[in-house]
Amino acid sequence: MPTVLVTGCDTGIGREFARQYAGAGWDVIATYLDPANRIADAGPMRHAPLDVTDPAQFTALKRDLGETAIDLIVSNAGIGLDTGKLGSLDFGYVRAMYEVNAMGPLRLVETFEANLVAGSMRRFVAITSRMGSIALNLSGGHYGYRASKAGLNAIMRSLAIDLFERGITVASIHPGWVDTAGGGGNAAVPVAESVRQMREVIRCLGNHDTGQVYDYRGFALPW
């Protein structure tokens, strides 16, 4: 069975990815901001701490995993959304969003590139947001979150080019407006359904998809 590493399994979409892949028989490496949140009721699974802003935790996880082949990495950990209005912006939080949402995935792929190459699927997927699409921004605001996800998309595009020779397919997926803590109230898509459909998008990814942004139903999104 393939091996998947998922970040941000404490709650929400990451936790559901870990549970569904474990349910499908995959070997799951679930990472947590707080390892006390480990998933206890989804069968055998590896658990590890990983704050994606902490280089020392990346080093420790790399040391633990060694040359373990990883078929798929789902870079899910993220924070958002509000930083206030112009005139009262929280620049500390703007910076934090960039560090978690954009730099975190970059450090993740840099750390585990060799593990992906050792796998047979070779897929690196980041959970982005349509709020990172400049073309789809018709309502303004959310400076930090939009910039962090647009930055992530730019990073993913470069990764797609740079990792193509190594056979790694890179794709960003918008999960929909999902009923998690991150999605806030009134979200339209149940988390189990969003993840089920994203797993199908991931399953169907081919080399020609590398560098693209999709939504959870597989529709391409503009930059």
Ligand X SMILES: NC(=O)c1ccc[n+]([C@@H]2O[C@H](COP(=O)([O-])OP(=O)(O)OC[C@H]3O[C@@H](n4cnc5c(N)ncnc54)[C@H](OP(=O)(O)O)[C@@H]3O)[C@@H](O)[C@H]2O)c1
Number of H helices, E strands in the chain: 6, 7
Binding pattern to ligand X, positions 49-78, x when CB under 6 A?
A: -xxxx----------------------xxx
CB 131 within 8 A of CB 149: yes
Instruction: Provide the minimum distance between the beta carbon of 125 and ligand X in the complex, in angstroms, as a whole number.
Output: 11
Backbone angles phi, psi at 146, to 5 degrees: -60, -45
Nearer to ligand X, 118 or 187 (CB): 187
Q: Contacting ligand X (CB under 6 A), which of 70, 178, 195, 202?
A: 178
Binding pattern to ligand X, positions 118-157, x when CB under 6 A?
A: ---------x-x----------------------------
Q: Which among 26, 27, 33 has a CA at the least distance from the CA of 11?
A: 33
Q: Which residues pair with 213 in a beta bridge?
A: 172
Instruction: Provide the minimum distance between the beta carbon of 69 and ligand X in the complex, in angstroms, as a whole number.
Output: 23
14 binds ligand X (CB under 6 A): yes
Q: What angle do CA 66, 70, 71 make, to 5 degrees?
A: 165
Strand order in the sheet with 212-215: 46-49, 27-32, 3-6, 72-75, 123-127, 169-174, 212-215
| HSE (side-chain half, CA atoms, 13 Å) at 131 | 22
| HSE (side-chain half, CA atoms, 13 Å) at 35 | 8
| Candidate segments 5-13, 39-47, 154-162, 210-218, binder of ligand X by CB under 6 A | 5-13
116 binds ligand X (CB under 6 A): no
| Candidate segments 8-16, 66-74, 82-90, 135-143, binder of ligand X by CB under 6 A | 8-16
211 binds ligand X (CB under 6 A): no
Task: Summarize as ranges the residues that interact with ligand X (CB under 6 A).
Answer: 7-8, 10-14, 33-34, 50-53, 76-80, 100, 127, 129, 174-175, 177-178, 180-183, 187
